Amino acid sequence: MSRYGRIYDTVRKIPAGRVATYGQIAMEAGLPGHARQVGYAMAALTEGSDVPWHRVVNARGGISARSAGPAFEQIQRLLLEAEGIPFGPEDHIDLERYGWDPSE
């Protein structure tokens, strides 16, 4: 399976109401140290994809800026809030509370 395929399969496992970091996805997909590649994979998704890309956030629990513009950042925030994930100070998600634990 391709790297992107492994990344997408891993992201599909994140349940609604939870988030994972780019680095965590890389590790779970067997690609430790390749968090940036996870970002590239998320950016490569096409509209209508079944991959819940919005559940992937940066290591601080924030939404990373996208070259496609701020509209995608706003969409990601709205999708996460719709799943019950609040944003706290400095627009960060509490990863202790809302972070995905693959062992659950």
pLDDT of 24: 98
**Closest of 53, 76, 55 to residue 65, by C-alpha:** 76
- 17 within domain boundaries: yes
Domain count, the chain: 1
pLDDT of 69: 64
Residue 69: phi and psi, rounded to 5, are: 115, 170
pLDDT of 68: 62
pLDDT of 47: 84
Contact residues for 61 (Cβ-Cβ < 8 A; gap 6+): 19, 21, 92, 93, 94, 95, 98, 99
pLDDT of 65: 83
- 103 within domain boundaries: no
- 56 within domain boundaries: yes
pLDDT in tens, 29-87: 999 999 999 999 999 998 889 999 999 999 999 998 876 666 888 999 999 999 999 99
Q: Which domain holds residue 37?
A: 3-98
**Model-level pTM?**
0.93
- 104 within domain boundaries: no
Q: Residue 35 is part of a domain; what is its CATH number?
A: 1.10.10.10
Tell me if residue 20 falls in helix, strand or coil.
Answer: strand
- 61 within domain boundaries: yes
The residue type of 58 is N
CB 18 within 8 A of CB 60: no
